[in-house]
Amino acid sequence: MSPEGAGWAWAVLVAALALPSAAIHGEGKMAPDAEGIPRAQPTPRDTAVFAGGCFWCMEPPFDKLDGVMATISGYAGGHVPNPSYEEVTGGGTGHREVVQVVFDPSRVSYDELLEVFWRNVDPLDAGGQFCDRGHSYTTAIFAWNQDQAQRARASKERIQARFRETVVTPVVEGAQFYPAEEYHQDYYLKHPLRYRFYRWNCGRDARLKELWGSPT
């Protein structure tokens, strides 16, 4: 897809995500209505939000999953509406860099997303992630409802059992999500060489292998 096409698609997706979760639908199976005329059945969609340090690095592992429809880099957990990248990384807004995952729960479960999240972060680091330091780069799971919150906390307990050190990743309920600027979206696809060099230089994969025993 061209940069212009990618930008247009991103803008449409962000507009759709402004709707309530129940109103986000896509094409699906055809089923007859009351008059027997086939009508498109909406594809079920849900959202999950995870903070795992640099949001560029959190899109790829979720994009690989069957059932994930989109990943959107953004900000969550702060007190300033519609923050910019400079404001968030400069500190003071309270936001973290996050990735919002739009997924079909009939094809991939929230529990599976949680497992992917854990294996792509250092849950023991309270000061940031890898070479990126500061609150905006710390980990968190943002839960949109009680079911997600309960599943996230149960998942955190399982992860804690793996380590002697404390798992510092909080489960945060009800935070507002703000999409990041368009140039941050799909950065790993737009600038693959820069992305791979940044990821390697940051020591992300080396630390993940040390923590989890295998590449992500």
DSSP code at position 42 = P
> Which segments of 6-78 are extended strands (E)?
30-32, 38-40, 46-52, 68-76
User: Rounded CA gap, 42 and 39, in Å?
Assistant: 9
The catalytic residue positions are 54
Q: How far is CA 164 from the centre of its chain?
A: 27
Degrees (nearest 5) of the Cα angle 189, 177, 140? 85
Degrees (nearest 5) of the Cα angle 84, 132, 215? 120
User: Rounded CA gap, 172 and 187, in Å?
Assistant: 26
User: Rounded CA gap, 52 and 63, in Å?
Assistant: 15
User: Rounded CA gap, 154 and 130, in Å?
Assistant: 25
Cβ neighbour number for residue 80 with a 10 Å cutoff: 14
DSSP code at position 118 = H
CB 76 within 8 A of CB 47: no
